[in-house]
Amino acid sequence: MENWYIYSVSALLLLGGQRFLCKVAAERGYGSGLTSAMFMCTVTLLSGITFLASGAEIQNWPSLAILSLANSASFSLATIANIEALRYLPAGITFPLTRLSLVVVVAVSVCLFKEHLSLAQWAGILLGGAVIAVMALDVRSGTKSAHYGRLGFLFVTVCVLCGAIAAITSKLAAVSTNKAAFMTLSYLLGTLFSLAIEKKWGNKIGAGQLTGAIVVGLLMGILNFFGFYAFLMALQIGPLSVISLMTGMHFIIAIILSVLIYRERLTLHRCAGIVFTVLAVIMLGQ
């Protein structure tokens, strides 16, 4: 068995586990801002240690600062919006829809970077639209009210747009700055941003919820750091298209765990949405 395949499967499981912990935080009522802050603080520490151990030097501080600020703000909002969306929509609806940030990334790449799309990738964009339509049909059966459905889709939209911005700024940073330094500064700013949102919302948190949010955030940070490390190791020795496809479907792990642990129903619409999303991710990777 190829080493890159082992690393890819590891990244798939680790990132899927991290995404499922968003569901855990939502189900237990942990503050999304505090949970996200703890998650990002953990990655900041791990990334900082990695950067210091590498002995690398920063060549372009202005570029690093601008990209880190944009990335941290967008990623923080995406993480918080993901947790909030899970309060109103089942995981079977939320996770496939949030993966549609890939569609936004492709669209921006075509318009901004003038990238060429194959017929398969265009088909993937159309399938992405089909996912939204199919999931919209299922909202009433998976939410407490139409109001909950609208709020859920609002948070999903924020998550998709901010997730796309985070992906684009990460791409720019990967080719212009030190990766470990970028992760350290971006996640540090993200920690502060998440804490500011939590303070602004003024949620009252009990001792049990505080402990739970810290523990879940810590676990999310550890899974994210090692999942991303496994992803980079896979890319170092294996094919980009296959690896990106495998790790991009990590949301399926979160849905499966939600079904097994929280007994969420997999309706026909949700199954179709999952299938369409997987097909869209496959076609976008062609």
pLDDT digits (tens, 9 = 90+) for 102-124: 777 777 777 776 767 678 777 77
- Name the pLDDT band for 94 (thresholds 50, 70, 90): confident
Distance CA 105, CA 123 (A): 15
| pTM exceeding the 0.85 threshold for the entire prediction | no
**Quick one: tokens of 183?**
């992760």
Q: What is the mean pLDDT of the chain?
A: 80
The number of domains in the chain is 1
Q: Does residue 37 carry a pLDDT above 70?
A: yes
CB 159 within 8 A of CB 101: yes
- Name the pLDDT band for 241 (thresholds 50, 70, 90): low
pLDDT digits (tens, 9 = 90+) for 249-270: 787 788 888 888 888 777 777 7
**Quick one: tokens of 223?**
């899974």
Q: Cα dist. 158→142, 154, 175 in Å?
A: 20, 6, 26
Q: Which domain holds residue 270?
A: 3-284
Helix count and strand count (H, E) for the chain: 12, 0
Q: Determine the average pLDDT of the residues in 202-225.
A: 81
Give the residue with greater pLDDT, 184 vs 228: 184
Q: Does residue 206 carry a pLDDT above 70?
A: no
Distance CA 168, CA 177 (A): 14
> Positive or negative CA dihedral for 14, 160, 279, 284?
negative
Q: Does residue 99 carry a pLDDT above 70?
A: yes
Distance CA 265, CA 89 (A): 12
Distance CA 6, CA 285 (A): 20
